[in-house]
Amino acid sequence: MDIGVIGVGRIGAFHAATLADLPSVDRVVIADIDAERTATLAAERGYEEASSVDDLLGKVGAVVIASSTDTHAQFIHASVDAGLTTFCEKPISLDLESTRGVVEHVRRSGATLQMGFQRRFDPGFRAASELVLSGGLGNLYLVRMAGHDPAPPHESYIPQSGGIFRDFSVHDFDALRFVTGREVEEVYADGSVIGFPVFASYDDVDTAVATVRLRGGALGVLSVNRHDPRGYDIRMELIGSEDAIAVGWDERMPLRSVEPGMPPPPAEAWANFQQRFEPAYRAELSAFLEVAAGRRKNPCTPEDALEALRVAVACDLSRAEHRPVRLEEVS
């Protein structure tokens, strides 16, 4: 199968390399707003360079969209209109209106759009989901999540990121829905600028928390920040009536115990999301190829992306107004 990749910055180049190594991919065609970057990558890796997005859409059987967030919706519309099975990195858009517009377009067209929430393909998150949904955890009481970046993004990224909840925590919100099989009913969120004053210039924060109430009464707690001196820390803990489990607790977890007799912290903790989730990204794109070939049902729909965004928007509203927000308020 010939696959097109729109946008070959950090994550797009990563996806293109992953696709090129998959046996069912015959050719990778790339396009990017930066013509020099496109030409350089094509020459280095042997990809075919498209002169434009329209040119790319006419050459391939399926499309991966990894361009800047503000272009996702327009490229999804174009790819769907071209009749192509499409994969898009999160989010569809940073606002609910345009996100709903894409969801409706995809639904009306009968096209397939798989969203890029790679944690659904991580072995730990999948094992947790299977345990919860099989009843092995018993009655779910509590979910604790941590999402900590090793370093804040460049200032140029902050104003177009959508803020900490829509940019970063939306992955946690999708993972929460995926693992528990439950919808969020209410959130309460807060945040602070503690270590990096630049975030205040854009009404954003570098450190945040959110509590969530899930359908059925279980509660969730999320901590999120832009700077963890020990590395990239993504964890989920679930406590139920029959078991208590953790995702992300491994030999590279960037956390140091101060209890006597405990082993030292890892010499090489997780440095970034590409390193931590490399197998999940590969599994995600392998699944997409199966979807494009008609051999697998879509594992992450645009409706899933919409629901995760709704939780993030509710957290933004809660932080702004210092009050609990029910999800029905952002329906």
pLDDT of residue 282: 97
pLDDT of residue 7: 97
Q: Which two structure tokens, joined as six digits, stand for 128?
A: 């947790």
Q: Which of 14, 163, 6 is nearest to 74 (CA)?
A: 6
46-95 per-position pLDDT tens digit:
999 999 999 999 999 999 999 999 999 999 999 999 999 999 999 999 99
- What percent of the chain has a predicted confidence (pLDDT) above 70? 100
pLDDT of residue 297: 97
167-194 per-position pLDDT tens digit:
999 999 999 999 999 999 999 999 999 9
CA gap 217, 207 in Å, rounded:
26
Question: Contact, 22 vs 44, CB < 8 A?
Answer: no
Question: Contact, 235 vs 246, CB < 8 A?
Answer: yes
**Sequential DSSP letters for 10-45:** HHHHHHHHHHHTSTT--EEEEE-S-HHHHHHHHHHH
pLDDT of residue 30: 98
pLDDT of residue 2: 98
Question: Contact, 86 vs 112, CB < 8 A?
Answer: yes
Decide if pLDDT at 277 tops 90: yes
Tell me what percent of the chain is helix, strand and coil, each rounded to the nearest 5: 45, 20, 35
107-144 per-position pLDDT tens digit:
999 999 999 999 999 999 999 999 999 999 999 999 99
CA gap 324, 178 in Å, rounded:
23
207-231 per-position pLDDT tens digit:
999 999 999 999 999 999 999 999 9
Give the pairing of strands 140-148 and 219-225: parallel
pLDDT of residue 102: 98
Task: Classify residue 22 by burial, with Cβ atoms within 10 Å: 0-12, 13-18, 19+.
Answer: middle
Q: Which two structure tokens, joined as six digits, stand for 209?
A: 């928390």
Q: Give the CA angle between residues 250, 251, 253 to the nearest 5°.
A: 65
- What percent of the chain has a predicted confidence (pLDDT) above 90? 99
Number of C-beta neighbours around residue 91 at 10 A: 23
38-55 per-position pLDDT tens digit:
999 999 999 999 999 999
Eight-class DSSP state of 330: G
CA dist 33 → 82, 91, 134, 158 (Å): 20, 19, 46, 20
Q: Omega into 91 within 30° of 0, i.e. cis?
A: yes
Q: Which two structure tokens, joined as six digits, stand for 150?
A: 């090793």
Decide if pLDDT at 267 tops 90: no
The model's pTM is 0.96
